[in-house]
Structure 1
């Protein structure tokens, strides 16, 4: 009698694996550290500047520059980063977005490992709002725009728009987590999602 163990799955007719061969992992890495650091830095920065730090304080400005810096890194990473981080992998065309929204309206939207088309559009909108908020905040410090009411109002409107969009984004993530039985908030912490 041989001293080796039978292959896993051999008795049931399933695929044979040697005892030392690893079975496929139940989870896959989707969100790399750059994506996760960007996400949580923006969350923290926006919450601090909207609700904790007073406008005009030096710390408000520093937080704004940190958010601007991680936004620049994320945009670059969208072209050279890991597969799920690249814009080419998730930015939808109009037809793909319409198909997804139609399926979503019927409750038949597919589960996706990366951003779904609606989530991708939301992410791009948030990134554009972040960029505009950072630029308007920077402009407020320039002599040419010092004390310009229209610029202060624009900056405030942009910041409040980020808050509204972020709340919609969070609500959608919670709803999708429930519908697909997957904790998307935890996935943005660990980077891992259930394998397709």
Structure 2
């Protein structure tokens, strides 16, 4: 996670390929599946269960890709770091703008949070379908609490992406659509 000073509007930038097709397809498919299950489908319906299993499959595929995928997709490129996140918050408060070619420290923590939460949702949802736990209250309570936490996390993620896009003067959602991020030319990391 190399931090690069953000260029002023007069300084040149270049579009750098950061997000590979798998990461982008995973992201938007996950968005659609999570939204469908959280907002549209009936939790008692088999479609809800199928979408839930699809989400778990997507997350497991993303974990694998985090181990063997392209540079910015790999977990080694964005290790969880509370100290890095605190440093990023401090920079935000001080008005310093740094752009990260891949995930920022705060973004990394959100990714790990969402991966763990989505797996917990899938596991607790599956428990509710088993003979042993069918009708038992705690798996349902755990499932609902995890879904609520995921919804709050998603809202925080979307708000952070919007605010960071404004603060850094970089269209972050564009990167998750096209794969390219506008980075300062003086970026020694070169996005590779």
Contact 2:18 / 2:102 at 8 angstroms: preserved in 1? yes
Cα offset for 1:153? 1.4
2:189 maps to which residue?
Answer: none
CA distance in 1, matches of 2:172, 2:108: 15
Higher relative contact order (CA 8 A, sep 6+): 2
1:112 maps to which residue?
Answer: 100
Residues 1:79 and 2:79 aligned together = no
Runs of 5+ consecutive residues of structure 1 not aligned to the other structure: 1-24
2:78 maps to which residue?
Answer: 90
2:9 maps to which residue?
Answer: none
Contact 1:92 / 1:117 at 8 angstroms: preserved in 2? yes
Q: How does 1:32-43 map to 2 (within 5 A)?
A: 32-43=20-31
CA distance in 1, matches of 2:155, 2:180: 23
Cα offset for 1:102? 1.5
1:45 maps to which residue?
Answer: 33
Runs of 4 or more above 6 Å deviation:
none
Q: TM-score, normalised by structure 2?
A: 0.85
Task: Give deviations 1:114-157, integer Å, cap 9, x for gaps.
Answer: 10001100111011100100111111111110111111111111
Count how many residue pairs are aligned between Structure 1 and Structure 2. Answer: 172
CA distance in 1, matches of 2:53, 2:136: 21
- CA 104–92 in structure 1, closer or farther in 2 if over 3 Å, else same: farther
Cα offset for 1:93? 3.1
Q: How does 1:1-196 map to 2 (within 5 A)?
A: 26-196=14-184
Cα offset for 1:95? 3.2
Query: Higher strand share goes to which structure?
Result: 2
CA distance in 2, matches of 1:102, 1:72: 33
* Aligned-CA RMSD value: 1.4
Contact 1:100 / 1:109 at 8 angstroms: preserved in 2? no
CA distance in 2, matches of 1:131, 1:109: 34
Runs of 5+ consecutive residues of structure 2 not aligned to the other structure: 1-12, 185-192
Q: TM-score, normalised by structure 1?
A: 0.84
Cα offset for 1:180? 1.2
